[in-house]
Chains A and B, each alone.
Chain A
Amino acid sequence: MNLVIKGGRVVDPANGVDKVLDVYLSDGKIAALGNVPSNPDHTIDATGLVVVPGLVDMHVHLREPGNEEEETIASGAESASAGGITSCACMPNTEPAIDNEAAAEFVILQSRRAGRSNVFPIGAVTKGRKGQQLAEMGGLVRGGAVAFSDDGDPVANAELLRRALLYAKMFDKPVINHCENKELAERGVMNAGMVSMILGLPGMSSASEEIMVARDLALAEITGGSLHIAHVSTAGSVELIRTAKARGIRVSCEAAPHHFTLTDKCVETFDPNYKVNPPLRTAADVEAIKEGLADGTIDAIASDHAPHTQEEKDVEFSFAPFGIIGMETLLPLTYTELVLPGVISLSRCVELVSTNPAKILRLSKGTLSPGADADITIIDTQTQWEIDVSKFRSKSRNCPFHGCKVHGRVGYTIVSGKVVFDADVESATWETFP
């Protein structure tokens, strides 16, 4: 079984490639660029389209096991493929938590059954994500975990996180921390600032994030462990990480699309779809995130896809759960808000959504080098379209971007050499893998 993608603009920053080339896929791997056989089994005409290594979304919540009414690994994998994401890494804040080998294996198994995009588990740092005792990281790695995180319940005990960074080093896996000092963010439902003051809603200050970013950077420095900071949302955090990187600390970080497109002004509508943690910040923070994405301080764009049912979300702003779904809007928002206005180049965009997150998770993905996994996303950058939440493959609809006009539509998503999403074809007829 082989496939040729003909006539597309191939952008592969890992190899410094940005030109019109044919891509040859064979046996689930990239076989060749440019030099393709004349009679392949299948051909995709990519004339006028952009061909990139498949997107890697390193921060999603798929709710299985425990909250399958919001999302399952299968529906999440389908949502990922519709968003051009060929691999995603799911957080362990499930019920029960992904904190042991069998639980990690379950995610891998469900991902295989789904047969769409790859889903990799992120294992818990501590047992039950309770912040008390280290989880069996060795077992989690054997089960398929690609990183460790306690997700929304960050490790509050600094000594425990120090040990986690040291211990995870044995497996060469990153520890991902959601930086939030819970005392400072207590009861907060939005960014603390002028808007929260006017609306009378309790705020979460930027300091609540930055204090833990600073702490974690210091711990990364003394341990030499691999630290990844999730969803950076404030100008102060960007600056702390920039300085740390300059000093040679081993740290990477990600930003979510809603943090470089929306501000806390949106909360004036009281629409719970704008309720997210970390909260939407100010225009100055949005600018700082964009700067960080452009200058290399921020390594990756990740959706923080956080599905919630309509009945959970459509309540008073104060009572709604935090979270925005984002796998199906990650690419168009990045393309429309960053590439089109010239904040970043298309090649930098591919680094942020594919090359770098693959590197951070140590996956043999994020590149079109011959021999790499044949995970590819083909993008139509020309056509403008409107985001329509009713068409999402995700089970949930909590997305504030409904009706936004964007560019950067996924045409095809290819995982291990097989087409798992074709924008022109209904899902039932897709080919599955393996």
Chain B
Amino acid sequence: MNWTRRHLLGLYDLSAEEINTILDTAASFKEVSTRSIKKVPPLRGRVVANLFFEPSTRTRISFELAASRLSADVVNFEKVTSSAVKGETLKDTARNIERMGVDIVVVRHSAPGAPHRLAEVLDASVINAGDGPHEHPTQALLDIFTMREHKDRLEGLTVAIVGDIAHSRVARSNIWGLQKLGAKVILVGPSTLVPGGFRELGVEVTHSLDEVIERCDVINMLRIQLERQEGGLFPSLREYSRMFGLNRERVSKAKEDVLIMHPGPMNRGVEITPQVADGPHSVILEQVENGLAVRMAAMYLVTRGR
């Protein structure tokens, strides 16, 4: 097994081998969820702390369930403020919680690099559950895991990521992971939300979903945040939806076996129509299910990497 890391902070620094190690480990854990007793003992006696400085019910529950399936004890800490606002600093909060005997700290934070700074000062393992627009490694891993389950291998696959790439940690982690595993990545979205600089990293960038849809094996639709429109980055949700939304008509031009993905939560009727979200190509709920297996693998591996 190729794994020596104490933390999982992002996919940018991981090798293809390490990513495959996580995916293989996740595959073996996935079966646990199908049992009537959904619990295995590898983290018995260990404590996982979910430190969520940004609200996220879904990701937190996924980590919480993953930890309990590994027999770990879980504590949740939710705080919508951070050191920008008066109060305890991030480091102090984390150090205090660590002293209560925590082995793994799962961090969600609005500031890029917050988990990386914590990893420098904590003895516990740190798992990044999303740091601003920087990385969201477990989300990308579960996306890739889902693709691998359906397509067997990532090499040679063409994956479109559609939406607000500039502000998306899901997009970034997917780009790094997919590229390392040999998939071709196409970024699609309005030019104000897709940094052209990604071309220099070997990624295709386009502003027309219609032009590339026929070539895609996977289409990963990102949630479009209303505040981007309010911030003036594109004129209206209606125009966004017309140009970049995924509807039945667009899907009909795609490959027969195209996979439609979405990291959630969806804005039905904006970036994806209900017919597509619930349609035959959609693997959106499988992603949620695979998230558990991937997070179990991540927690298992970081404790092994110590």
Contacts and interface: CB of A to CB of B under 8 A. Distances in A.
A109 B117 CA distance: 43
Given A197-B195, A197-B197, A314-B91, A319 B113 contact: no
Nearest to A271: B117
B113 A316 contact: yes
B109 interface: yes
Nearest to B90: A316
Contact of A316 (B111, B135, B169, B172): B111
B89 A315 contact: yes
Chain A interface extent, by class: 10 to 19
A282 to B, nearest CB: 12
A191 to B, nearest CB: 12
B184 interface: no
B116 A200 contact: no
A46 B268 CA distance: 78
Contact of A200 (B84, B172, B200): B172
A270 B89 contact: no
B200 A316 contact: no
B263 interface: no
Contacts of B110: 318
Contacts of B137: none
Contact of B111 (A198, A311, A314, A319): A319
A318 B116 CA distance: 13
A193 interface: yes
B28 interface: no
A317 B113 contact: yes
Interface string B65-107: 0000000000000000011100001110000000000000000
Contacts of A200: 112, 131-135, 167, 169, 172
Given A200-B172, A270-B116, A270-B117, A316 B109 contact: yes
A199 B84 CA distance: 20
A317 B82 CA distance: 12
Given A315-B90, A317-B112, A198 B172 contact: yes
Given A315-B83, A316-B82, A201 B112 contact: yes
Nearest to B172: A200
Contacts of A193: 197
Interface centre among B110, B111, B133, B200, by most chain A C-beta atoms within 10 angstroms, is B111
B19 to A, nearest CB: 18
Interface string A94-118: 0000000000000000000000000
A218 interface: no
B198 interface: yes
Given A200-B134, A316-B82, A319-B82, A270 B113 contact: yes
A201 B12 CA distance: 15
B112 A318 contact: yes
B117 to A, nearest CB: 6
A315 B198 contact: no
B134 A316 contact: no
A194 B199 CA distance: 11
Interface string A189-213: 0000110011111000000000000
B114 interface: yes
Interface in A304-325: 311, 314-319
A270 B134 CA distance: 11
A272 to B, nearest CB: 9
Nearest to A201: B112
A319 B132 contact: no
A182 to B, nearest CB: 16
A247 B135 CA distance: 48
Contacts of A316: 82-84, 90, 109, 111, 113-114, 117
Contacts of A317: 111-113, 117
A207 B134 CA distance: 24
Closest 6 CB pairs of A and B: A270-B113, A200-B133, A316-B111, A200-B134, A318-B111, A319-B84
Interface of A: 193-194, 197-201, 270, 311, 314-319
Interface of B: 12, 82-84, 89-91, 109-114, 116-117, 131-135, 167, 169, 172, 195, 197-198, 200
12 contacts: A197-B197, A200-B134, A201-B133, A201-B134, A270-B116, A270-B117, A315-B90, A317-B117, A318-B112, A319-B82, A319-B83, A319-B84
Given A316-B111, A318-B113, 12 more contacts: A194-B197, A201-B112, A270-B112, A270-B116, A270-B117, A315-B83, A316-B83, A316-B90, A316-B109, A317-B112, A317-B113, A318-B84
